[in-house]
Chains A and B, each alone.
Chain A
């Protein structure tokens, strides 16, 4: 039994405690796998029955889902990998799921998906999902559904201290307040004061998780971008690094290419990788967080 805190923080009604996993869907899992490996992720386990792999580094779990019926109600995986789910650590997953629905979240249908364990979830932005995971302290959800890869280190250390820092979400014009209310009412996220930004891409609206362990960035289309196809969805993950320059150096050695032109170039504040596989990017952010 996990010992649960008797008095949840008033601003953290679900007892959110960070990101348990991030999930990508793609029909080209090996191509994404090699990009992830250059970013320091190590394949550690394979799903027992589906084409799903678990990658890890340090505190980060990352799932690559290539199952054709990957996620309920969502389209089959495309060649360009898409960020499809965030798994949130919560105090009590069943409670989180019920409360979210009471407040108007869309229940996720029973999934024929990565997890054989019944992990409750709700619909998020676009066709992404938000999962609630409460077994992360003394027992891992991956123990049931995944087979360790022979010879793989179960808990590979993080490259350059990388850890989950946040997720960037694209939204349509004039939708910031809708999504601020969504994350605020359902989970207790709070808007950071204007002007407070991390990294080198200061735009949009930053929301801080009620556990202060990660951020969501809401990004409306930039002005004058009428001809860009801009859809709502999870767009990019941000990885925190205690020393961005050191992280960039190590990742470059591993083959990662960073964007380096006038407007966007690696600095001690952050860095942005080139797009891989038609659109996957990773942002590095100087991080004060303790993974």
Chain B
């Protein structure tokens, strides 16, 4: 595990897209997670944003985020399919292999598993011709799916090659989902792992979780659950996950600090994680 396995996320940084790309690259990262807002909100338009990403030389870890897709009926479903198609096309233009999809928080969505499975199968099918993989993530305030164990059940039932999981340490820790069951997931079906910590011991209500998730996350090593983050990464590493780790750090403070400073904190976090994971896993390797 080294720096190349880690990436930053544009949502952590303030400023224009080009400045974010530069800061991330200059900090030594080779990949970046992009949001649709980076692209459509670019003053030069979509094409200019896409060109800037390509010129940066950074690999695109993934593209986010399709929300509230599954479990809708009639016109709501049709509307979301249109949104999904537009997201997939942007994802493709950015040469991102992964579209991040969050479990639905919509009050209009059904919790019927068969229906959720069917909708995700459809989304996966839409992604096939574009060579995109759908990473399904359990939001901790998802209406029906709010733990990775549920998301994994749905992904298994859907049984599509290009449908897998996004694991986000925040949502797992916020909901106190046990980490032991991570080992039951097929490593190849984990498409991306998002890492962050937060500053409070507990986030009891859904409102608390939303508020914390959107404003007060920190890099691993900076919060109070960082040992759990290490435990998660170590588990993933030992079970054979070799995909990307992306820092999904929404933080209002970081969005008003100089970009190089925030990127350095991310670098520091990589060092902290790799140091700790490597130390503990050495004896295991010797046995093997």
Contact = CB atoms under 8 A, between A and B. Distances in A.
Interface of A: 102-106, 123-125, 172, 175, 177-179, 181-182, 185-186, 232
Interface of B: 85, 121-126, 128-129, 131, 160-162
Given A178-B161, A181-B161, A104 B131 contact: no
A77 to B, nearest CB: 21
B122 A178 contact: no
Contacts of A186: 125
A182 B122 contact: no
28 contacts: A102-B122, A103-B121, A103-B122, A103-B125, A104-B121, A104-B122, A104-B125, A104-B128, A105-B126, A106-B85, A106-B126, A106-B129, A125-B129, A172-B131, A175-B131, A178-B128, A178-B131, A178-B161, A178-B162, A181-B160, A181-B161, A181-B162, A182-B125, A182-B128, A182-B129, A185-B121, A185-B125, A232-B131
Given A104-B121, A104-B123, A181 B131 contact: no
Contact of B161 (A105, A123, A172, A177): A177
Contacts of A182: 125, 128-129
Contact of B129 (A123, A177, A185): A123
A261 B175 CA distance: 65
Contacts of A125: 129
A232 to B, nearest CB: 7
Nearest to A126: B129
Contacts of B126: 104-106
A179 B123 CA distance: 15
A177 B124 CA distance: 12
B120 to A, nearest CB: 10
A100 to B, nearest CB: 9
A125 B126 CA distance: 12
A127 B51 CA distance: 22
A181 B133 CA distance: 13
A229 B58 CA distance: 22
B161 A124 contact: no
B161 to A, nearest CB: 4
3 closest pairs, A vs B, by CB?
A104-B125, A104-B122, A177-B161
A181 B128 contact: yes
A172 B162 CA distance: 14
A104 B161 contact: no
B129 A124 contact: yes
A104 to B, nearest CB: 3
Contacts of A175: 131
Contacts of B121: 103-104, 185
A186 B123 CA distance: 13
Contacts of A179: 128
Nearest to A180: B161
Given A104-B123, A172-B131, A181-B128, 7 more contacts: A104-B128, A106-B129, A124-B129, A178-B162, A181-B125, A181-B161, A232-B131
